[in-house]
Chains A and B, each alone.
Chain A
């Protein structure tokens, strides 16, 4: 029930922000369509912790700034590698990164964070390992140090 209410408010805010017309008639259409979507989603059984991870919210304020900082850093690094004179300064490498998350959702967040930072792309998740392609050895070693892994586990485990 908590998730259904949260989903309704989420949908409603998207609707209100996109609409821009706030007459009674049109807003009631919006409320009706949001209720319909919530009802359909509940019938499909997709309103749960995985679709709407409310339990992650407390950890986000600490994780988001860090990941943004990390993305900016790796953007600058990858740009430098692309623009280096002569040949691009790369040494691609394919490797398995271990994960310490204890749910699928946590591993998905970790894999997406890896892909989000340019220079590393997660290729496949198998078991508790993620196959990663990195643009250079230094980038790969950076990832294998595991700070991102620790932070995602922390984000996931806040209220576990």
Chain B
């Protein structure tokens, strides 16, 4: 068995992959644009962080680890900005969010009408 830090980096990378996949599933499964932003947020935050942290642990203390940290910072800085810009653009152009617990039922009503 490898040393504990290596094992920790495996755990991080694999759990990061799981969160990336959950984000992908959410992107397909959620009912409207605004809720899908939340799903994309999972990939952008925890999924990316865990994978990059795992790679940093694997890398140890080196120049490449610093580059990974920079990558982490860029994703941290640009991710929310892009999400916000998209949400604002959609909102200002009149795309109304579905609201309330009965939103799936509203779809069914729409189908009947």
Contact = CB atoms under 8 A, between A and B. Distances in A.
Whether A and B are associated in the same complex: the answer reads yes
Interface of A: 14, 17-18, 20, 71-72, 75, 78-79, 82-83, 87-88, 90-94, 111-112, 115-124, 131, 133, 135, 137
13 contacts: A17-B70, A75-B46, A78-B42, A82-B30, A88-B26, A90-B35, A91-B101, A112-B80, A115-B83, A116-B76, A118-B38, A121-B41, A121-B87
B46 A72 contact: yes
Interface string B43-70: 0011000000000000000010011001
Contact of B29 (A82, A111, A131): A82
A94 B103 CA distance: 13
A14 B101 CA distance: 48
A79 B103 contact: no
Given A78-B42, A91-B100, A133-B87, A20 B63 contact: yes
